[in-house]
Amino acid sequence: MPRICLVTHFFPPHMGGIEKVAYEQCKRLTDAGYEIDVLTSKVKGQQKHPAKGIRVFAYPSLKIAERFGVPYPILTVQAYKQFAQVIKNCDLVHAHGHVYMSSYLAGKLAKKYKKPFIVTQHNTWIDYKSWLNTMENINDLTIGKSVLKSADRILTVSNETKKYVLRLGADKTKTSVMYNGVDTKFFCAANRTESRQKLGLPKKRKIVFSARRLVYKNGLDTLIESAHIVAKDKHDVLFVVAGKGPSRKLIEDRIKELGIANSIMLAGFVPDELLSTYYNAADYFVLPSASGEGLPLVLFEAMSCGLPVVATRVGGTPEIVTHMKNGVLVPARNPRAMAEALSKLLEKEGLGKEIGEAAKQSIQNKLSWEENVRQLKEVYNQFLA
């Protein structure tokens, strides 16, 4: 029975895109007979055995960067021994993210113990519009390049992500695109009235939903400014934003400044089991990303539920969304363009329904976690045979 060492900076109960991908893959890999040892940083509420066949080895780390909205655990000396022990006893090492210290250490130890080393890259370049860009550059050119160089295979979640790692020197012959998936049985259309009743949301208002970690790169500033524009003419529209993060106070302050507290609801953290209900309670979904996206899971989830999506042309999103076919694409950091797109959909309900139906078909016919893991097993088997 193959034993996989999965290396990820965070893992559930800590939530984020990478964590969710890692967990969804782990669950299905164990069903296929793999044993999974997860190396991840220690967080509150962690379980050593979160699901059958998965063992979590949590190492101590410093989380200084999270103060600036950057989920980047810094390894401590104590982590080395734990990494060495787990990697020595596995058959293959699979790390998520090229820039993390955990991926760097895993790559070095995989080489030392002659284990195949696979890297999945999720994001593209993140433009923080601050001094963090310099730190990101340094990290890319040191840790990032080293991780990519040591990888036996590099999997990217979109073509844009592939271009990003190739610019950093990734071997083209070892790099391929493998789209993430979605649980199409869970994220599917359901009754809107019942969904709103369950969540206590107003029955008669038009609801524009967004699920985002509250950090700069996720474009919440753009969403708020566009909500302000929309709210001037359309008082029956309610923007609902699910998520938590370090920028919440800034977002709350801006909402007060604009005087649109009656038009925006910050729902806070929404557990996975309620996310589908939120999608189904909404009329539209907005993905306002500023930069750094590979291909967001929330895009797949919203489309799978049949929601018409307004999304920025960032990262791999245009690889899935065809403008005015199964979604609407707008420029990043352009509140007016986003507001105009939303207003058009609000005024033409028939158009929104057509786009939502096309969105659902485009996801449910092509993208699933089962297909994602099938491809992943093919990659694993190339090194485990």
Range of the domain at 315: 192-364
Number of domains in the chain: 2
pLDDT given for residue 308 in this prediction: 97
pLDDT tens-place string over residues 117-172: 999 999 998 888 888 889 888 989 999 999 999 999 999 999 999 999 999 999 99
pLDDT given for residue 216 in this prediction: 61
Residue (of 300, 362, 350, 296) closest to 326 by Cα position: 362
Q: 28 in a domain, yes or no?
A: yes
Q: 64 in a domain, yes or no?
A: yes
* Same domain flag for 199 and 168: no
* Same domain flag for 117 and 224: no
Average pLDDT over residues 42-49: 90
| Cα–Cα separations (whole angstroms), residue 165 to 70, 73, 119, 141 | 20, 21, 11, 11
Is residue 278 scored above 90 in pLDDT? yes
Buried b (16+ CB within 10 A) or exposed e, 127-140: bbeeebeeebeebb
Residues 6+ apart with CB under 8 A from 35: 1, 2, 3, 4, 53, 55
pLDDT tens-place string over residues 222-241: 999 999 999 998 999 999 99
Q: 380 in a domain, yes or no?
A: yes
pLDDT given for residue 37 in this prediction: 97
* Same domain flag for 153 and 197: no
Residue (of 203, 201, 208, 235) closest to 224 by Cα position: 208
* Same domain flag for 356 and 308: yes
* Same domain flag for 115 and 142: yes
| Percent of the chain clearing pLDDT 70 (strictly above) | 99
Task: State the DSSP code for 203.
Answer: S
* Same domain flag for 39 and 117: yes
How does the average pLDDT of the chain come out, rounded? 94
pLDDT tens-place string over residues 358-369: 999 999 878 999
Q: 186 in a domain, yes or no?
A: no
Q: Give the integer Cα–Cα distance in Å for 344 and 179.
A: 30
Tokens standing for residue 341: 């797109």
Q: 187 in a domain, yes or no?
A: no
Residue owning tokens 């797949």: 300
| Cα–Cα separations (whole angstroms), residue 155 to 67, 137, 160, 186 | 30, 21, 12, 26
* Same domain flag for 317 and 208: yes
* Same domain flag for 166 and 205: no
* Same domain flag for 269 and 302: yes
* Same domain flag for 55 and 21: yes
* Same domain flag for 77 and 216: no
Q: 156 in a domain, yes or no?
A: yes
CATH number, residue 306? 3.40.50.2000
pLDDT tens-place string over residues 51-89: 889 999 999 888 887 777 778 888 988 899 999 999 999
* Same domain flag for 127 and 154: yes
